[in-house]
Structure 1
Amino acid sequence: MFDLLIINGKIIDGTSNPWFYGDIAVKDGKIIQVGFIKEKKAKRIIDVSGLFVCPGFIDIHSHSDLEPMANYRCESKVRQGVTTEVVGNCGDSAAPVFGQAYEDQKKATEEYELKLTWQIVAQYLDALQNSKPSINYAMLIGHGTIRKSVMGYDNRKPTADELEKMKELVKQAMEEGAFGISTGLLYPPGSFADVEEIIELCKVVAKYGGYYATHMRSEGDWLEQSVAETIEIGKQANISVQISHHKAFGKQNYGKVEKTLRMIEQARKNGIDVTCDVYPYTATSTSLASILPSWVHEGGKEKMLERLKNNEIRRKIAEQIDPVQRRISGYENLYISYVSSDKNKWCEGKSVQQIAHQLNKEPIDVVLDLIIEEKAHVGMIRFAMDEEDVKKVISSPYSMIGSDGSALAPYGILSKGHPHPRNYGTFPRVLARYVRELEVISLEEAIRKMTSFPAQRLGLSDRGLIKPNMAADIVVFDFDKVKDTATHEEPKRYPEGIEYVIVNGVITVEKGEHTDARVGKVLRKNSN
Structure 2
Amino acid sequence: MGNPWFRGDVTIDGDRIGYVGRHLEREVGQDTTVIDAQDMCVCPGFIDIHTHAELAVLYKDVQDYKLRQGVTTEVSGNCGFTAAPLNPDTEEMLKSYLAFITPPSGVTWQWRTFADYLDAVQSSIPATNIAPLIGHGTVRIAVTGFDRRAPTSRELGQMKALTEEAMEAGAFGLSTGLVYVPGTYAETQEIVELAKVASRYGGIYATHMRNEGERLLESIQEAIEIGRQAGLPVQVSHHKASGRSNHGRVRDSLALLEKAREEGMDITADQYPYHASSTTLQAVLPSWAQEGGVDQVVERLQDSQTRNRIRDELTRPGTEPPMGAGLGNTLIASLLTQTNQQYIGLSIVDIAHLRNRDPMDMVFDLLVEERCAVGMVTFSMSEDDVRTVMAHPTTMIGSDGLYSSGNPHPRVYGTFPRILGHYVREENHLTLEEAVRKMTSFPARKIGLENKGVLRPGADADIVIFDPKTVIDKATFQNSPQYPEGVEYVLVNGRVCVEKGQFTGHTAGRVIARGNS
TM (norm. structure 2) is 0.96
Match of 1:465 in 2: 454
* Per-residue deviation, 1:234: 0.6
In 2, distance between residues paired with 1:46 and 1:153? Answer: 53
Match of 2:25 in 1: 38
* Per-residue deviation, 1:142: 0.5
1:447 paired with 2:443, answer no
1:132 paired with 2:118, answer no
Match of 1:508 in 2: 497
User: How do 1:416-431 residues align onto structure 2 when only pairs under 5 Å count?
Assistant: 416-431=405-420
Conserved? CA contact 2:284–2:323, under 8 Å = no
Match of 2:304 in 1: 311
In 2, distance between residues paired with 1:199 and 1:338? Answer: 35
Match of 2:378 in 1: 382
1:122 paired with 2:115, answer yes
Match of 1:67 in 2: 56
In 1, distance between residues paired with 2:428 and 2:19? Answer: 32
1:153 paired with 2:149, answer no
Residue 20 of structure 1 aligns to a residue in which SS? coil
Residue 24 of structure 1 aligns to a residue in which SS? strand
1:363 paired with 2:359, answer yes
Match of 1:265 in 2: 258
Amino acid corresponding to residue 38 of structure 1 in structure 2: E
Conserved? CA contact 1:251–1:327, under 8 Å = no
Question: Equivalent of 1:337, from 312, 333, 340?
Answer: 333
Residue 310 of structure 2 aligns to a residue in which SS? helix
Match of 1:198 in 2: 191
Amino acid corresponding to residue 10 of structure 2 in structure 1: I
Residue 277 of structure 1 aligns to a residue in which SS? strand
Amino acid corresponding to residue 400 of structure 1 in structure 2: M
In 2, distance between residues paired with 1:429 and 1:306? Answer: 42
Match of 1:373 in 2: 369
* Per-residue deviation, 1:102: 2.1
Amino acid corresponding to residue 501 of structure 1 in structure 2: V
Q: 1:155 to 1:326 in 2, by over 3 A?
A: closer
TM (norm. structure 1) is 0.94
Conserved? CA contact 1:339–1:417, under 8 Å = yes
Match of 2:273 in 1: 280
Match of 1:393 in 2: 389
After superposition, the CA RMSD in angstroms is: 1.5
* Per-residue deviation, 1:69: 1.2
* Per-residue deviation, 1:328: 2.4
In 1, distance between residues paired with 2:94 and 2:308? Answer: 32
Q: Deviations over 1:372-409 (max 9, x none)?
A: 11111111110110000000111010010000004x5x
In 2, distance between residues paired with 1:487 and 1:111? Answer: 22
Q: How many residues align?
A: 507
Greater shift after overlay, 307-316 or 383-392?
307-316
Amino acid corresponding to residue 508 of structure 1 in structure 2: C
Conserved? CA contact 2:115–2:169, under 8 Å = yes
Residue 224 of structure 1 aligns to a residue in which SS? helix
Amino acid corresponding to residue 493 of structure 1 in structure 2: Q
Match of 1:243 in 2: 236
Q: 1:334 to 1:54 in 2, by over 3 A?
A: same
In 2, distance between residues paired with 1:148 and 1:489? Answer: 35
1:77 paired with 2:61, answer no
Conserved? CA contact 1:74–1:134, under 8 Å = yes
* Per-residue deviation, 1:101: 4.6
Conserved? CA contact 1:106–1:115, under 8 Å = no
Q: 1:31 to 1:436 in 2, by over 3 A?
A: same
Q: 1:521 to 1:420 in 2, by over 3 A?
A: same
Match of 2:224 in 1: 231
Match of 2:247 in 1: 254
Conserved? CA contact 1:352–1:363, under 8 Å = yes
Conserved? CA contact 1:73–1:518, under 8 Å = no
- Aligned-pair identity in percent equals 48
Conserved? CA contact 2:93–2:293, under 8 Å = no
Kindly report structure 1 stretches of 4+ aligned residues shifted beyond 6 Å: none
Conserved? CA contact 1:72–1:131, under 8 Å = no
1:18 paired with 2:14, answer no
Amino acid corresponding to residue 248 of structure 2 in structure 1: G
Conserved? CA contact 1:73–1:133, under 8 Å = no
Q: 1:332 to 1:49 in 2, by over 3 A?
A: same
Question: Equivalent of 1:490, from 472, 479, 502?
Answer: 479
* Per-residue deviation, 1:312: 1.1
Q: Deviations over 1:221-252 (max 9, x none)?
A: 11111001111111111111000001000101
Residue 46 of structure 1 aligns to a residue in which SS? coil
Q: Deviations over 1:492-516 (max 9, x none)?
A: 0000000100111111101100111
Conserved? CA contact 1:106–1:116, under 8 Å = no
In 2, distance between residues paired with 1:454 and 1:110? Answer: 27
* Per-residue deviation, 1:421: 0.5
Residue 468 of structure 2 aligns to a residue in which SS? coil
* Per-residue deviation, 1:95: 1.2
1:182 paired with 2:141, answer no
Amino acid corresponding to residue 239 of structure 1 in structure 2: L
Residue 198 of structure 1 aligns to a residue in which SS? helix
In 2, distance between residues paired with 1:376 and 1:334? Answer: 16
Match of 1:12 in 2: none
In 2, distance between residues paired with 1:140 and 1:99? Answer: 22
Structure 2: 5+ residue runs without aligned partners?
Answer: none
In 2, distance between residues paired with 1:372 and 1:517? Answer: 40
Structure 1: 5+ residue runs without aligned partners?
Answer: 1-14, 409-413
* Per-residue deviation, 1:70: 1.2
